Structure 1
Amino acid sequence: MDLKTKRWLVLIASVLINLCIGSGYAWSVFAKPMVAHLSSVTGVAVTAAAATLAFTISNLFGPVTMIIGGSVQDKFGPRWVIFVGAFIFGGGVFLTGFTTSTTWLYLSYGTLMGLGMGLIYSCTIANTVKFFPDKRGLVAGLATAGYGTGSIVVPPLANSMISSMGIMATFRTLGIAYFIIIALGSFFVMTAPPGYKPEGWTPPAPSAGSAVSGVDKTWKQMLSDPIFYVLLLMIMIGAFSGLMIISQASAIAQETTKVTAAVAAVAVSMIALANTGGRLFWGWVSDVIGRYNALTIMYIISAVSVFALTATPSYSLFVVEAMLIALCFGGIMGIFPALTADMFGPKNNGVNYGIMFSGFAIAAYLGPMTAASVRASSGGYVTAFIVAAVISIVGILLTQVVRSKSKKMQEATAKA
């Protein structure tokens, strides 16, 4: 089997591995049973906020190990980094099945699972993108879609397991299953050869739409490039609206359209599907029309949709608008691994994208916090929606700035 064929096995293995670690976003299924368990074993009423802090901790640790994992796998290859990550992630989930206090929960589900999640994700994304210079956007979308699919596939499975065997046994079972799947999957992940190009494929000439620089930069060189900071703002802006809606979808639906929690849960599922689908769709689109053209369209759709939420008269319209926002959010997450490789080269994309991903971490705090703060102070979400719309418009402008800068860089390179 030649490398051009083997790379698809690497992609399939990476998608399955990402599906496992993406289950970290299924916290909402575990939240209520975990609160009940902790309140029972401690004899003290544990709040939902106290338990949910574990989810926040895992998201804070993720970007840290993405940078570390990216650096290690750029030097030694991704296989063993993923294998070690299987122990940490699977172990974190397994140990959560022995929780007797919030401290234990923060260390197992929060710290260990978050560390393993970032370690694995940095390898599956960066290495896979290196194997597909001819389809970077589509493949980055597929790999990140696996991550998003975890939040769709795991909830019904976990909910059924919790009903039949209880919350603690569910965590122990899932932990073992995740370890086995990730560990086995790691042996199908091989290191992409430096500068790999599939046989018969000729790189297209760089264009302003694609923004392929053709230059490999280290993380230090990337940080010294002003374009990096613009791109960091762009990923943060792209994630802001999506995370605001995803984190508050049920509450927003119930408040603005007066539906029940059960009906709002349907909207949450539809939004999750749009998030996953957006990673595939926009990844493919960006390969066809260029990254910056795709980003411009996404920011426009996001700005219009989130502003439309300020006057949403019906539940069905809310679902459509929220799905459009999630579709674009997923697209941002799917495109940026490829865009980072385009701009700063694929060689060091593991650590480079890990640093770029910190923009997502910032948005993960600011987006939900803005919605919650506005709701607490004004009694509604309208101002938060307006803020998100304005921020998306800024994203449109920043995209044109980077497009122009990229075009000038390419012209200078051509002359040289």
Structure 2
Amino acid sequence: MYAWSVFAAPMAEHLSAINHIKLTPADLAVVFIVGNSVGPITMITGGKINDVFGPKLVILIGGLMFGGGMFLSGFATSVNQLVIDYGLILGLGLGMVYGSTISTSIKFFPDKRGLVGGLTTALFGISSVVIPPIAAAITAHMGVVASFKIIGAAFTIIVCGSAFFIDKCPEDFIPDGWTPNKAGKAAAANDKDWKQMLMTPTFYMMFCLLMCGAIAGLMCISLAAPLAQKMIGMSTVAATGAVSTLALFNVFGRIAAGSLSDKIGRVNTLAIGCFLTILGLYCLYLADVGDTVIFYLGISIIGICFGAFMGVFPGLTADQFGAKNNSVNFGILFAGFAVSGFTGSTIMHRVLETTHSYKGAFLIGIGFCLGGLVLSGLFKWYTARANKLALAHNY
């Protein structure tokens, strides 16, 4: 999914040639928006199946859809067909596989939710380090159509084959040698289903915080290669390197922030991510043609911070609402990510359309990050107050 910007330009050229019209990567942004937006649907429905029957079936079906959607994209002859194949089929398959693997991993490691959430989401993100150069090489030698088909077939085999090696976590599982602390026991005793979760103010604060924190990353991920080319004047090959750089720091951010959140707290880690994202967006705002160092600095910071939000939120969801129903609960909360994908891509497209530059979009992204800082402070105040009231009630 995060490697989309590598496919966007050659696919726009391919569709332009066969339909005798002029399409740009920005015209295909709707494909990324749809693919990024529909994931929570199957994270929720697949999450319920995962909680009841286990991950094998969910990941097998999701793998068929994900790889199949990628493969069918190689036959697309219009934007609408690409939206169906890559946006809907691939996006829905992605939601099933992503949600099931993360929730299953976290349930097996209640003692290290931050680290394991970071590692699991990092493995999701590392594909966008590996795939761009592979996709670029296949496209250069065989065309973008072959690239979709070859990568789609490979993904189908890998994901579906992996499904048979994944087991359901036993209920009330406790790792050997680990004793839950008071907070862990309280969280386990306070498992909430999705209806109970939606009744809490905590959910809505977390939803908005995820949306604010993810917008900057999704603004840049969907258009990383075009940004490098239009703003800095990079070649196509160099722009592909920018995509991989953003993805690499995204992976690093998921692992580092996930581990850090186990030590200093999830929300403190997210607040740091919002602050650093402001610095990264400002670097991009300053970058102009030839400013490669400033551009890479901004892209790297944004990658780290976007990864932080993706790595920390699975553990934060389980902390707040319990691990029992985490597959469904995280799927619902992840809708905030889908809103970010739509909002971020739309902001970039509209700003470019009206100003012929991306710079204004970075200032809007800074505004969302400031909102995220406010929300993180509000979340800490509210949860501290709620815990104090609960303690007083118990006594």
| TM-score where L is the length of structure 2 | 0.90
Of the three residues 3, 14, 23, the one matched with 1:47 is: 23
Aligned: 1:388 with 2:365 = yes
> CA offset at residue 34 of structure 1?
2.9
Letter in 2 for 1:234: L
Partners in 2 of 1:149 and 1:237 — Cα distance?
23
Is 1:344–2:344 an aligned residue pair?
no
Please name the residue that 2:94 is paired with.
117
Q: State the match for 1:20 in structure 2.
A: none
Give 1:359 deviation, angstroms: 0.7
Aligned length: 389
Q: CA deviation at 1:262?
A: 4.9
**1:158-173 → structure 2 map (5 Å cutoff):** 158-173=135-150
Secondary structure of the 1:193 match is coil
2:269 to 284, 291, 294: 294
Instruction: Give the deviation of 1:348 after TM superposition.
Output: 0.7
> What is the CA deviation profile of residues 346-404 of structure 1, one whole-angstrom value per residue up to 9, with x for unaligned ones?
11111111111111111112223223323333444444333322321221221122112
Distance (Å, rounded) in 2 between the aligned partners of 1:388 and 1:289? 26
Q: Does the residue aligned with 1:119 lie in a helix, a strand or coil?
A: helix
- The answer to whether the aligner puts 1:189 opposite 2:166 as a matched pair is yes
Paired position in structure 1 for 2:38: 61
Which residue does 2:73 correspond to in 1?
96
Deviation for aligned residue 1:64: 1.4
Deviates more, 1:146-155 or 1:337-346: 146-155
Identity level (%): 41
Distance 1:253 1:102 in 2: 24
- Once residues 380 and 91 of structure 1 are traced to their aligned partners in structure 2, the CA distance between those partners, rounded to angstroms, is 36
Aligned to 1:86: 63
Per-residue CA deviation, residues 239-275 of structure 1 (Å, 9 max, x unaligned), is 0122223334445455655555554443333222111
CA contact (8 A) 1:214 1:343 kept: no
Q: Which moved more, 1:132-141 or 1:370-379?
A: 370-379
Letter of the aligned partner of 1:198 in structure 2? Answer: P
Deviation at 1:281, TM superposition (A): 0.8
User: Which stretch has the larger CA shift, 328-337 or 47-56?
Assistant: 47-56
> Is the counterpart of residue 180 in structure 1 residue 147 in structure 2?
no
Whether the 8 Å contact between 1:25 and 1:151 is mirrored in structure 2 is: yes
**What's the CA shift string for 1:292-345, capped at 9, x where partnerless?**
221121122122332344434743123212211221111001100110111011
Q: Check if 1:401 corresponds to 2:383.
A: no
Secondary structure of the equivalent of 1:206? Answer: helix
Find the counterpart in structure 1 of residue 11 from structure 2: 34
Residue 212 of structure 2: aligned partner = 237
Could you tell me how far 1:50 is from its partner in structure 2? 5.0
Q: Does 1:227 align with 2:197?
A: no
Gaps of 5+ in 2: none
Equivalents in 1 of 2:131, 2:247: separation in Å? 12
CA contact (8 A) 1:81 1:123 kept: yes
Contact residue 213 and residue 410 of structure 1 kept, 8 A: no
1:282 counterpart (232, 257, 265): 257
Q: For structure 1, which runs of at least 5 residues remain unmatched after alignment?
A: 1-23
Q: Helix, strand or coil for the counterpart of 2:35?
A: helix
Contact 2:6 2:240 (8 Å CA) reproduced: no
SS at match of 1:93: helix
Structure 2 distance, partners of 1:162, 1:261, is 12
CA change 1:329–1:344 in 2 (3 A) is: same
Per-residue deviation, 1:167: 3.4
Retained in 1: the 8 A contact 2:35–2:90? yes
Q: Which residue of 2 aligns with 1:5?
A: none
> What amino acid does structure 2 have at the position aligned with 1:275?
N
Q: 1:156 aligns with which of 133, 140, 146?
A: 133
CA distance in 1 between counterparts of 2:227 and 2:12 reads 23
Q: Distance in 1 between matches of 2:91 and 2:122?
A: 19
In the aligned structure 2, how far is the partner of 1:384 from the partner of 1:282?
26
Structure 1 residue 367 corresponds to structure 2 residue 344: yes
Partner of 2:82: 105
Range moving further from structure 2, 128-137 or 320-329: 320-329
The answer to whether the 8 Å contact 1:206/1:410 transfers is no
Whole-angstrom distance in 1 between the partners of 2:2 and 2:28: 14
The 1:57/1:255 distance shift into structure 2, 3 A limit, reads closer
* Residue in structure 2 matched with residue 18 of structure 1 by the alignment: none
RMSD: 2.5
Could you tell me how far apart the structure 2 residues matched to 1:251 and 1:165 are? 22
The separation in 1 between residues aligned to 2:337 and 2:89, in whole angstroms, is 20
Q: Give the distance between the partners of 2:74 and 2:365, measured in 1 at CA.
A: 38
| Cα separation, partners in 2 of 1:256 and 1:90, compared to 1, 3 Å | closer
Compared CA separation, residues 316 and 214, structure 1 to 2 (3 A): farther
Q: Quote the Cα distance in structure 1 between the aligned partners of 2:371 and 2:81.
A: 42
For 1:263 and 1:163, the matched residues in 2 are separated by 14
The residue identity in structure 2 corresponding to 1:324 is: I
